[in-house]
Amino acid sequence: MTVSNEITNSLKELENEFSVPKETLLKIIDYFVEELNRGLVDGSDPLGIPMNLQWVMEYPTGNETGDYLALDFGGTNLRVVMVHLLGNGKLETDQGFYKLPSNMRTTNDRNELFDFFAECLEKFLIDKHPSGIPENQVFPLGFTFSYPASQKRIDSGVLQRWTKGFDIPGVEGEDVVPLLMEKIIKRNLPIKVVALINDTCGALVASRYVNPKTEMGCIFGTGVNGSYYEIVSNITKFKGLIPNDIPENSLMLINCEYGSFDNAHKVIPRTKYDLIIDETSPRPGQQTFEKATAGFYLGDLLRLTLLDYYKKGIIFQNISNETVKILETEHCIDASFPSFLESDESDDLKTCKKLFNDVFKIENASFEDCYFARKASEFIGTRAARLSTCGISAAAKKRNYESFDVAADGSLYLKYTKFAERAADALAETFGWPADMPYEKHPIKIVKSLDGSGVGAAVIAALAHNRQSKGLSLGME
């Protein structure tokens, strides 16, 4: 089927706005390396990448053992995991999933959130020990808290700012570990938080437990971020503060928090839709890279694009007021919507048609409407995947890594149509690998991580425990 010139021209215009050609990627990567460096040297730039220390100074060997609980609070739901590390790269897990109440993202009472965590931990322990929670045992807990937290020690972390649409007063600027411990103690649970972990660090360490080629952990999900091991002597912002038993040539796992890359708006080409996303978010001016690439925003980028072209009279003419209202509702669709549109390969785009009927109450979306929306999704999804690789390329350049695996997790990487292929293609383009080189031969490969927020948290907790038992320090104080 053909489409009108009007649609073709509008799509050309849109493609232009969302495209990030190779030259732009290379420019972004160079500036990304600068920002990574700056974050290690000067922690005071409010527009810079935080480069938070995770206080993991070694690679796991695969021989860590012990039983650890993990509490995974990533953004969409909550999970409690019991991890039995058996050594030899072997482990067993047992987990419980808990739905985060929909009002929790923006509740006014921080107690609700932390008490919900403790309630889920309690439910999990009761479920696993129906005859009574053991009294003579304290479960060490790795708390996977996937938000920017500055850590002076591995078992503490002050929330720098909420991301991913969270906006709960009284938590930013506070150490979240005592907030959780207070609720754990109130419920008399035999649990002690021994490590606060970022999900990207968990992904790296969990995968490294079984795959020594792993050098980076990345999340491409509701939010976006990456971690890698840096050399301590390069972290000059804490010169003189890092304890002596962590030598200058030691490794240090860094949670880059590069969702905030380019907050100074120097290199990422932003469309008018990006500007609206930013202005209407709870934290305007922050998480610039994340707002262009992460799952929490892709649905809304599409919604704003469709709304704009509806207002220009190009698509969705004659829709009802009810549909206009839905189109005007922030976050009424998530990233699965553009992903589903993109996956429709039928000649008459019947999946797209059905989706518009189901979600936007458009009874008879035309072929042109569907075609436009599908293409718009392709531009948005492709831009996200291509930009997402800039963090990987920048870390690789910074550490001179030529061949390694990136342990990746998150809904976009796992589920968004063609995200993984597009990211691999962008890496090939950036590094100049032949376009026909099979993905499995790529020197830098993005591979599915082991469960970082569960297993990774447990391995990090075990590493902290090992250091503690040798009397080694776990942080700056």
Within 247-266, which residues bind ligand BGC (CB under 6 A)? 257, 259
Interface with ligand BGC, residue 391, by CB under 6 A: no
Q: Which residue is nearest to ligand BGC (CB)?
A: 223
Stretch of residues binding ligand BGC (CB under 6 A), selected from 145-153, 300-308, 413-421, 437-445: 145-153
Six-digit token pair at 43?
């922690």
Q: Which of 144, 151, 163, 339 binds ligand BGC (CB under 6 A)?
A: 163
Q: With beta carbons less than 8 A apart as the criterion, state whether 302 and 331 touch.
A: no
The residue among 221 and 338 lying less far from ligand BGC, judged by its C-beta, is 221
The residue among 289 and 379 lying less far from ligand BGC, judged by its C-beta, is 289
Query: Comparing C-alpha atoms, which of 386, 377, 452, 442 is closest to residue 419?
Result: 386
Residue 45 bears catalytic tag: no
Q: Which of 151, 200, 377, 393 binds ligand BGC (CB under 6 A)?
A: 200
Six-digit token pair at 252?
């240090």
Query: Comparing C-alpha atoms, which of 71, 452, 46 is closest to residue 227?
Result: 452
470: which residues sit within 8 A by CB, 6+ positions away? none
Six-digit token pair at 476?
């700056």
Q: Rounded to the nearest 10 degrees, what angle do helices 5-18 and 367-399 cross at?
A: 20
Query: Comparing C-alpha atoms, which of 146, 139, 131 is closest to residue 94?
Result: 139
The identity of residue 406, as a single letter, is V
Residues 254, 231: Cα–Cα separation, whole Å: 10
The identity of residue 154, as a single letter, is I
Interface with ligand BGC, residue 164, by CB under 6 A: yes
Stretch of residues binding ligand BGC (CB under 6 A), selected from 31-39, 111-119, 142-150, 151-159: 142-150
The residue among 200 and 305 lying less far from ligand BGC, judged by its C-beta, is 200
Interface with ligand BGC, residue 147, by CB under 6 A: yes
Q: Which of 144, 146, 214, 366 binds ligand BGC (CB under 6 A)?
A: 146
Residue 366 bears catalytic tag: no
Stretch of residues binding ligand BGC (CB under 6 A), selected from 222-230, 267-275, 356-364, 463-471: 222-230
Residues 155, 61: Cα–Cα separation, whole Å: 21
Report CA-CA distances (Å) from 439 to 210, 253, 381, 423, 425: 21, 27, 20, 11, 8
User: What is the closest distance, in whole angstroms, from the C-beta atom of residue 288 to ligand BGC in the complex?
Assistant: 12
Interface with ligand BGC, residue 140, by CB under 6 A: no
Interface with ligand BGC, residue 177, by CB under 6 A: no
Q: Which of 122, 155, 199, 308 binds ligand BGC (CB under 6 A)?
A: 199
Total residues in contact with ligand BGC, by rule CB under 6 A:
18
Number of Cβ atoms within 10 Å of the Cβ of 270: 15
Positions in the binding site for ligand BGC (CB under 6 A): 74-75, 146-148, 163-164, 198-200, 219, 221, 223-225, 257, 259, 290
